[in-house]
Amino acid sequence: MERLLGRGLAATADAWPAIRAVYAEVYRAAHLLANHDAQGAPLIASAYATLVEELTQQHGSGPLASAVAHFAKVTRSYAPGLFHCYGVPDLPRTNNDLEQFFGSARYHERRATGRRGASPALVVRGAVRLLAAVVTPRQTLSGVDLRPRDLEAWRQVRQQMTVRQESRRAQGRFRKDPATYLAALEAQALQPSLPP
């Protein structure tokens, strides 16, 4: 085992200085994303983009060039959604933390309905229910808190839920009597669009 490790270390000895340097940059990136100074999303995004650019310039042509290029590529692909957690209070920073919210919602939905899969009501009202499941345990809400602050946004959410509910209703009508449902659609399609 000692010989095997010795041969492996000897074969990769040329890459170790580069690995140490890149690891220091990755540690710097992790420290920046931890945001101990509580900076805003634009500052964190700018500093992180600068860090990735420096990493690419310094180590983009060494023995770890492919790893650095991959890191930069993945960072660019995730960049549009990577920094929301610094601008939105209480938004989880990691997928594991965010998954706990979804897991909690699934758990409560399962307890309330007895279904292992998603209930039809969750499909129709999922966005509203998930938000309520996330917010409710963290704080006690009063009637004033429930009042819509942006009436137009509230109307849009209600409209989306109505459209989803109508779609679910149409699926039920189709399953109960497909011939009648299709005949009604055909009659509606054959109506002239303009009056004679």
pLDDT tens digits, one per residue of 86-120: 777 777 777 777 777 777 777 777 777 777 776 66
Helix (H, G, I), strand (E, B) or coil at 124: helix
Max CA pair span of the chain = 93
Q: What integer is the mean pLDDT of 130-146? A: 70
pLDDT of 133 reads 67
Sequence spans of domains, the chain: 2-87, 95-190
pTM: 0.51
Q: What integer is the mean pLDDT of 132-154? A: 75
C-alpha dihedral sign at 51, 53, 57, 62: positive
Using an 8 Å Cβ cutoff, are 119 and 126 in contact?
no
Please give the structure tokens belonging to residue 170.
Answer: 């149409």
Burial class (CB in 10 A: 0-12, 13-18, 19+), 151: exposed
**Distance between CA atoms of residues 84 and 64, nearest Å:** 30
Say yes or no to pLDDT of 82 above 70.
yes
Q: What is the dihedral of CA 125, 127, 129, 135, to 10 degrees?
A: -160
Instruction: Select from 86, 65, 79 the least CA-distant residue to 22.
Output: 65
